Structure 1
Amino acid sequence: MAALYEGYTLCGLVSDKTLSTSGIRGLEEERDSDHVIVTDTTRSVTLYKVSDQKPLSSWTVKQGQTLTSPAVYNPHTKEYVAVSDNKVIRVWKEEDIVLDKTFKATVSGDVWKVHCAREGEAVVLFRRGAVRLLDSLLAAPQQPIEEVLAEEEAIRWSTSIVAKTQQFVIFITEQKGEHFLYLQRLNPNSLQRYRLEGEEPNLSPLSFSASCKDEYICLIHLFPNGHVYQSVISVRGPAADEKACALPLPRSLVLNLPVGEGLLEAASAVILDDCHIAVVGAPHPSAGAGKDYLCIWNTNFQTLQAGIEMAGKIYRQLWSYSNRLFIPHGKSLSVIPFSCPKSSLASALGKLRKAKTEESKPPVCVPSWSNILHGENAQPPKLVETRKMRSTRKTQSALTTEQVLELVKTIPVEEVQREVEGLLSRHDLQDLQPFLGQLALTLVSRSLADPAFYTSSSLAQLVRTRCLCHSVCPDLVSLALERKDYFLCQLCLQFFPDIPEAITCACLKAFIGLSDVDAEKLNLEPDSVSFMEAIVSKHCDQVGLQNGFSPTSFEDSSDAIGAQMRKQDKNAPSSLEQICPVGVQKGALINEVVQMAYSDTFLLPHLKDLSSQHVVLFLQYLQFLYLQYSQDNFAQMHTFRSPSLNQVVDWVCMLLDAHFTVLVMTPEAKGLLLNLHNFVESQVKLFYELGKIEGSLQELDKMKVKKDDGQYSIEVIELF
């Protein structure tokens, strides 16, 4: 069956004062499935990395100008294209900063949208129905633009599709309550016009979505009464231009959504695959009217596959890219991953048989010594029951999930552990995913209500299944901090992708405040501890440093304040000795926090709650990591459970932003700030030298004459 997974927020929305629109004009996929560009309804275009939930770049037009077409990404030229004030086409690259200084061209007609299919060329669709290739239009921006549409006809929706090496521009228009579909072929250039069947009583479609399969284009349109129709159009080119007479476009009812007594107002539907569509803004069949849901429906069997309630206002906008749904609702733009396995009647009814597992294999035959010594005449070997077979046999008579859920509310800790272990030993763990969240909630609620009850091992086992997240069990991390179960905290930080910034800072405060003596008694993840043991080892070479910082450059610094500080602190241990300010176990816990995803806006207020002593200690540890990462042999001991250099630098910046005034006034922090200042200077010097090398290489590349060197050659370039 299709499934919707735990979603997350990509960005906030700045809606208009009337709250009639989301504030987003369009959302397009960029270079790959992890990058999207969002265009707002006013002046800005923002590039986001979806997995990090962070903006990478943003561009804005001048005050008084307005973006009238969503920005698109052209993968062939690696450029962005947008339209401002209906007639100004703007083209820029990612490294451009000021949008007004980039290329722009004013055309002679009002533009509706710019489309750029993944395997096609960028095309411009004008408001009066004309279509031009972007390159040919920019070559002659003031070329005359013909009017294809009638006087009272206006475009309502459009898209571009590549099918069978042909590129199509599809747009739907409305004229006096009637809707028409235009199919524009680019090569050869031809246009077909179809008339869409109406819906009684004079209802206009709420949304359209199109996809291509083989030689056919599939179009679905959703009406306010909940009817979802499908029309199929052949991609085979017509003999002549058929725009003069509108051909009737047949349709078939593929879905009848439950709408209650009223009509849908802000619903939208998109095609996911051949037999699944996603619908937002329609009520759930079992929830009744008044609530908006995101649902995945199977159109082959008319079944609801998955559903999630969407909080806040729905704006009739829904995008689908690379198994992710992008939905503006309320005050946020949410990303919800989904999966749509191959459709069958068994899967639609939820009765699809699982693939045969190891438990269904024949029993293992263990040969005996008699058989080996005496050959085939010996007795046949006995069938030996394996451990997995015994586990399967036991679970066949085990309690149901509902019985286990009621049982753990009253039984002792030891029995809870046995029940959880028995439950997790079942082979159908994925089928138990919803129940595992309920089980964790029950155990956490009982632990909060009863101070004498706490099942650390059971909760850790549930976290390791990767079926939980912070949204499913929001009190789990707080409970672990309250019970000082730092091992469970570490597991949650590793496996939960949606921990809020407030909880992250609470964990950081608890970890830093933990004494090294108490930390050494903890039993933590071996991988994280082994990384700390390796990085604090005295066998590490402390001489050859990279990233622009070395003892020589540090000692040769001409900073007068630095010389004075070194003179005062001759007897103090130098930072270059690289003594770790925290213990191994404590450092392993802090590393988990450093690797957490966060938003600067939400993290800064919580970081200010740290005391000056904790901030100084944390900065000293981050400085220690920076020095260790600068060593030649660091790459050999880098492991999975270790923060990256970028994460270390980001946290340094966040701490300085949150506590700069306090640090300047703290005597213990002066030497630390001086060292960090020297690190920055050395990095600037390094990148300055790299810039000079880059310029030299570019000049050499320009001077190089292309010649045929044969099948094998060695070329040496000397830089003076």
Structure 2
Amino acid sequence: MAALYEGCTLCELVPAQNQSNSGVKGVEEERDSDHVIRTDSAGSVTLYKVSDQKPLSSWTVKQGQTLTCPAVYNPKTKEYIGVTDSKVVRIWKAEDLVLDKTFKATVSSDVWRVHSASGGEPVVLFQKGAVRVLDSLLSAPQQPIEEILPQEETIRWSTYIVAESQQFIIFTTEQKGSNFLYLQRLNPNTLQRYRFEREEPGLSPLSFSASQSGKHIRLVYLYPNGQVYQSMVPLRGLGAEEGSQALPLPRNLLLTLPVGEGLLEAASALVLDEAHVAVVGVPHPSAGAGKDFLCIWNTNFQTLQAGKEIAGKIYGQLWSFSNKLFIPHGKTLSVIPYECPKSALASALGKLKQARSEESRAPTSVPSWNELLHEEKAQPSRPVETRKTRTTRRTQSTPTLTIDQVLELIKTGTVEEVQKEVDGLLSRSDLQELQPSVGQLASSLVSRSLAETTFYTSSTLAQLVHTRSLCHSVCPDLVLLALEKKDYFLCQLCLQFFPDIPEAVTCACLKAFISMPDVDAEKVSLEPVSISFMETLIGQHGPTGLQNGFSPTSGDEERTEEAVNTRDKDKKEKSTPPEEICPVGLHKAVLLNEVLQTAYTDTFLLPHLKDLSSPDVVLFLRYLQFLYLKYSQEDFPQMHGLRSPNLSQVMDWVCLLLDAHFTVLVMTSEAKGLLMNLHRFVRSQVKLVSELGKIEGSLQELNKMKGKKAEIGQYSIEVIELF
């Protein structure tokens, strides 16, 4: 069945004063599925990285100007395209800072939208129905633009599809209560006009969604009365002469959605695949009035398969890119991942898991290469079995429990019984089917473990974390339970796989790890990959040289004579040169590395770091110093594939600890030499970044100096001096 997963907030919104408009003109995909650009009514375009939920760049028009359509991205030229005041086409790159200083061209007619898609050239759709390829338009911006639409006919929606190596612009219009569909094919240019069948008097579609389906364009549209229709438009239709009669557009009813009392005002239906449609702004059939939901409906079987309550006002806007839904509501723009497995009647009725049992499925007759090369020679009479069929054979004598039965068993069963049944459930079921239930299983196990001190299933919880279907927000007590039970292996797994661990929990893990005696830490079983990195790092020996902008032997060249004398005096009295011996044990270092690689926000992390004791801070700083010195050696190996923190993470944590405990460290005598060394580390990194900035500037200047190809003959010598 389709599923909606836990979402996140991409950005805050500033809705219009009347609260009827979200302020978002459009959301478009950029270079890949993890980057989107948002255009708002305030006149700004912002680039976001979805996985980080943060803006990367933003561009704003001058006061008095207005962005009249959503900006788009051209993947071929890596440029952004927008339109201001309906007639000024603007093009800019990511490195441009001021939008008004970038390329602009004024055209002779008002623009409705600019469309761009992978595999096709950007095209411009004018408000009166004419279409131009962007390049041909910019070659003569003031070229006359024909008027395709009659005077009273206006465009309501448009999209751009590249199919069968052809480009198609699809747009809908409205004229005196009648609705029309236009299919414009480029190169060769043909235009087909269709008339929508009339719905109830006075009703026009609220939303449209189009996708390619074989040799047709599949158009899905929603009316205010809850009726969702589908029309199939052939890609190779006959061109209609201008002014000729529109062809009737056949349709069939896909869904009849519940609307309650009255009609829908702000709603949208968006095609996800051949069998699923996402709907927002339509009441949930089983929820009370006044609640807004995002739902996924199966159009093949007329069933509601997933629903998620949305807080705040719904504006009837919805976008989808790479299995992520973007929906503005209230004062936020949210991103909600979804999944739509292949449609089947059993799954639509909720009977798929009971209908397909491993016992009724015949064992596979295809052997693996490993079995052919090894097992078959040793045991030729043994039938070939996969892991699942072997598990089935072992469990045929015991009844198969459903997820609900396992959840009931967790409440009363013994540790051994629970571990056995959960392990069996994970072994005999498809992981995709179990994803919605993994959180329930983990929450039930954690709840009972907190209530009963004698009940704890470490291996089962670790197995659930390994499915990668859990996160901290689904089971918020799991990490704290692992710390309470001193199950540091489970803590390590959670730090690796949970992307949303709060800063308070991260600091709780750090405090537990750093204060744990090395003797106890060495008894903990940890993941071999993370241990391999530390074994290689600790066992590495060699001469220290200049690397990453730092050399322990030449870091003080820029000091004044007075500073040098002071340093020499302190060195004789108290300081010792930085040691290359790891200040913590192997296993403790592995756990600290997991903390270093955990995501955080400085503002939220700093208050919790202040709870660390002074000895713990000094020890942690010494470990960070050890990592930095190792990373700075010339012969530092590039250990790809091993889980390890990078240099930037090490330096960030050094700065965080110094910010949180600077006063205490300055007053601690044993930290004096350590602080001096750390100061040198940070200064060397600042110097490195500064030098890299100079190189970048020089390279940019060289790029500007490139002459035209005509000026360079077959043989030339060019001398460039860098100062």
TM band (smaller chain): 0.7 to 0.9
Q: Distance in 2 between matches of 1:173 and 1:465?
A: 49
* Deviation readout 1:580-633 (Å, 9 max, x if unpaired): 444332332222233233455655665566567656655554444333333344
Aligned partner of 2:686 among 651, 670, 680: 680
Task: Report the alpha carbon displacement of residue 95 of structure 1 after superposing the two structures with TM.
Answer: 1.6
Q: Distance in 1 between matches of 2:132 and 2:665?
A: 60
Q: 2:586 is aligned with what amino acid?
A: V
State the partner residue of 1:25: 25
State the partner residue of 1:67: 67
1:683-698 matched pairs, under 5 angstroms: 683-689=689-695, 692=698
State the partner residue of 1:103: 103
State the partner residue of 1:711: none
State the partner residue of 2:128: 128
Does 1:360 pair with 2:363? yes
Q: Distance in 1 between matches of 2:45 and 2:359?
A: 50
Task: Report the alpha carbon displacement of residue 676 of structure 1 after superposing the two structures with TM.
Answer: 0.9
Task: Report the alpha carbon displacement of residue 240 of structure 1 after superposing the two structures with TM.
Answer: 4.6
Instruction: Kindly indicate whether the alpha-carbon contact (under 8 Å) linking 1:28 and 1:36 is maintained by their aligned counterparts in 2.
Output: yes
Instruction: Kindly indicate whether the alpha-carbon contact (under 8 Å) linking 2:157 and 2:171 is maintained by their aligned counterparts in 1.
Output: yes
* Deviation readout 1:232-257 (Å, 9 max, x if unpaired): 22222534534453333222111222
Q: 1:134 is aligned with what amino acid?
A: L
Q: Give the direction of change, closer, same or farther, for the CA distance of 1:145–1:476 in structure 2 (3 Å limit).
A: same
Task: Report the alpha carbon displacement of residue 696 of structure 1 after superposing the two structures with TM.
Answer: 6.2
Q: Give the direction of change, closer, same or farther, for the CA distance of 1:197–1:503 in structure 2 (3 Å limit).
A: farther
Q: 1:439 is aligned with what amino acid?
A: L
Q: Give the direction of change, closer, same or farther, for the CA distance of 1:65–1:409 in structure 2 (3 Å limit).
A: same
1:473-552 matched pairs, under 5 angstroms: 473-537=475-539, 539-551=540-552
State the partner residue of 2:442: 440
Q: 2:155 is aligned with what amino acid?
A: I
State the partner residue of 2:15: 15
Task: Report the alpha carbon displacement of residue 122 of structure 1 after superposing the two structures with TM.
Answer: 1.2
Q: Give the direction of change, closer, same or farther, for the CA distance of 1:549–1:124 in structure 2 (3 Å limit).
A: same
Q: Which moved more, 1:601-610 or 1:250-259?
A: 601-610
SS in 2 for 1:282: coil
Instruction: Kindly indicate whether the alpha-carbon contact (under 8 Å) linking 2:148 and 2:242 is maintained by their aligned counterparts in 1.
Output: no
Instruction: Kindly indicate whether the alpha-carbon contact (under 8 Å) linking 1:259 and 1:289 is maintained by their aligned counterparts in 2.
Output: no
Task: Report the alpha carbon displacement of residue 223 of structure 1 after superposing the two structures with TM.
Answer: 1.4
Q: 1:544 is aligned with what amino acid?
A: G
SS in 2 for 1:544: coil
Q: Distance in 1 between matches of 2:557 and 2:40?
A: 51
Q: Give the direction of change, closer, same or farther, for the CA distance of 1:659–1:143 in structure 2 (3 Å limit).
A: farther
State the partner residue of 2:164: 164
Q: 1:360 is aligned with what amino acid?
A: P
Q: Which moved more, 1:454-463 or 1:604-613?
A: 604-613
Does 1:554 pair with 2:555? yes
Q: Distance in 1 between matches of 2:382 and 2:620?
A: 63
Task: Report the alpha carbon displacement of residue 73 of structure 1 after superposing the two structures with TM.
Answer: 0.5
Q: Give the direction of change, closer, same or farther, for the CA distance of 1:555–1:405 in structure 2 (3 Å limit).
A: same
1:646-665 matched pairs, under 5 angstroms: 646-652=648-654
1:412-451 matched pairs, under 5 angstroms: 412-451=414-453
Q: Distance in 1 between matches of 2:533 and 2:113?
A: 52
Q: Give the direction of change, closer, same or farther, for the CA distance of 1:387–1:246 in structure 2 (3 Å limit).
A: closer
1:272-283 matched pairs, under 5 angstroms: 272-283=272-283
SS in 1 for 2:52: coil
* Deviation readout 1:61-107 (Å, 9 max, x if unpaired): 23443322211111121100112233332211112222222222333
* Deviation readout 1:304-343 (Å, 9 max, x if unpaired): 3433333333221111122222222344333333343444
Aligned partner of 1:595 among 574, 597, 607: 597
Q: Which moved more, 1:126-135 or 1:23-32?
A: 126-135
Q: Distance in 2 between matches of 1:390 and 1:700?
A: 67
Task: Report the alpha carbon displacement of residue 208 of structure 1 after superposing the two structures with TM.
Answer: 0.6
Q: 2:557 is aligned with what amino acid?
A: D
1:142-541 matched pairs, under 5 angstroms: 142-236=142-236, 238-287=238-287, 289-345=289-345, 348-349=348-349, 351=352, 360-361=363-364, 391-396=391-396, 397-398=398-399, 399-537=401-539, 539-541=540-542
TM-score (norm 1): 0.85
Q: Give the direction of change, closer, same or farther, for the CA distance of 1:61–1:698 in structure 2 (3 Å limit).
A: closer
* Deviation readout 1:259-302 (Å, 9 max, x if unpaired): 33443333211122233222223334444544333333332332
State the partner residue of 2:643: 641
Q: 1:677 is aligned with what amino acid?
A: R
Q: Give the direction of change, closer, same or farther, for the CA distance of 1:658–1:99 in structure 2 (3 Å limit).
A: farther
Task: Report the alpha carbon displacement of residue 206 of structure 1 after superposing the two structures with TM.
Answer: 1.6
Task: Report the alpha carbon displacement of residue 46 of structure 1 after superposing the two structures with TM.
Answer: 1.8
Does 1:630 pair with 2:632? yes
SS in 2 for 1:179: strand
TM-score (norm 2): 0.85
Q: Which moved more, 1:472-481 or 1:76-85?
A: 472-481
Q: Distance in 1 between matches of 2:700 and 2:576?
A: 35
Instruction: Kindly indicate whether the alpha-carbon contact (under 8 Å) linking 2:192 and 2:237 is maintained by their aligned counterparts in 1.
Output: no
Q: Distance in 1 between matches of 2:274 and 2:681?
A: 60
Q: Give the direction of change, closer, same or farther, for the CA distance of 1:695–1:194 in structure 2 (3 Å limit).
A: same
Instruction: Kindly indicate whether the alpha-carbon contact (under 8 Å) linking 2:359 and 2:392 is maintained by their aligned counterparts in 1.
Output: no
Instruction: Kindly indicate whether the alpha-carbon contact (under 8 Å) linking 2:130 and 2:146 is maintained by their aligned counterparts in 1.
Output: yes
Q: 2:434 is aligned with what amino acid?
A: L
SS in 1 for 2:149: coil
Instruction: Kindly indicate whether the alpha-carbon contact (under 8 Å) linking 2:529 and 2:643 is maintained by their aligned counterparts in 1.
Output: yes
State the partner residue of 1:376: none
* Deviation readout 1:376-421 (Å, 9 max, x if unpaired): xxxx958799996664245342344333322222334344334433
Q: Distance in 1 between matches of 2:519 and 2:155?
A: 71
Percent of pairs with identical residues: 66
Q: Give the direction of change, closer, same or farther, for the CA distance of 1:310–1:460 in structure 2 (3 Å limit).
A: same
Q: Distance in 1 between matches of 2:553 and 2:197?
A: 79
Q: Give the direction of change, closer, same or farther, for the CA distance of 1:57–1:634 in structure 2 (3 Å limit).
A: farther
Q: Distance in 2 between matches of 1:101 and 1:662?
A: 50
Instruction: Kindly indicate whether the alpha-carbon contact (under 8 Å) linking 1:8 and 1:498 is maintained by their aligned counterparts in 2.
Output: no
Q: Give the direction of change, closer, same or farther, for the CA distance of 1:37–1:700 in structure 2 (3 Å limit).
A: closer
Q: Which moved more, 1:519-528 or 1:660-669?
A: 660-669
Instruction: Kindly indicate whether the alpha-carbon contact (under 8 Å) linking 2:190 and 2:239 is maintained by their aligned counterparts in 1.
Output: no
Does 1:113 pair with 2:113? yes
Q: Give the direction of change, closer, same or farther, for the CA distance of 1:72–1:430 in structure 2 (3 Å limit).
A: closer
Does 1:140 pair with 2:146? no
Q: Give the direction of change, closer, same or farther, for the CA distance of 1:80–1:305 in structure 2 (3 Å limit).
A: same
Instruction: Kindly indicate whether the alpha-carbon contact (under 8 Å) linking 2:229 and 2:254 is maintained by their aligned counterparts in 1.
Output: yes
Count of residue pairs the alignment pairs up:
705
Task: Report the alpha carbon displacement of residue 719 of structure 1 after superposing the two structures with TM.
Answer: 9.7
State the partner residue of 1:79: 79
SS in 2 for 1:245: coil
Q: Distance in 2 between matches of 1:313 and 1:527?
A: 48
Q: Give the direction of change, closer, same or farther, for the CA distance of 1:619–1:690 in structure 2 (3 Å limit).
A: farther
State the partner residue of 1:377: none
Q: Give the direction of change, closer, same or farther, for the CA distance of 1:595–1:184 in structure 2 (3 Å limit).
A: same
Q: Distance in 2 between matches of 1:628 and 1:719?
A: 36
Q: 1:43 is aligned with what amino acid?
A: G
Q: Distance in 2 between matches of 1:241 and 1:319?
A: 34
SS in 2 for 1:360: coil
Instruction: Kindly indicate whether the alpha-carbon contact (under 8 Å) linking 2:4 and 2:337 is maintained by their aligned counterparts in 1.
Output: yes
Q: Give the direction of change, closer, same or farther, for the CA distance of 1:584–1:55 in structure 2 (3 Å limit).
A: farther
Q: Distance in 2 between matches of 1:303 and 1:53?
A: 33
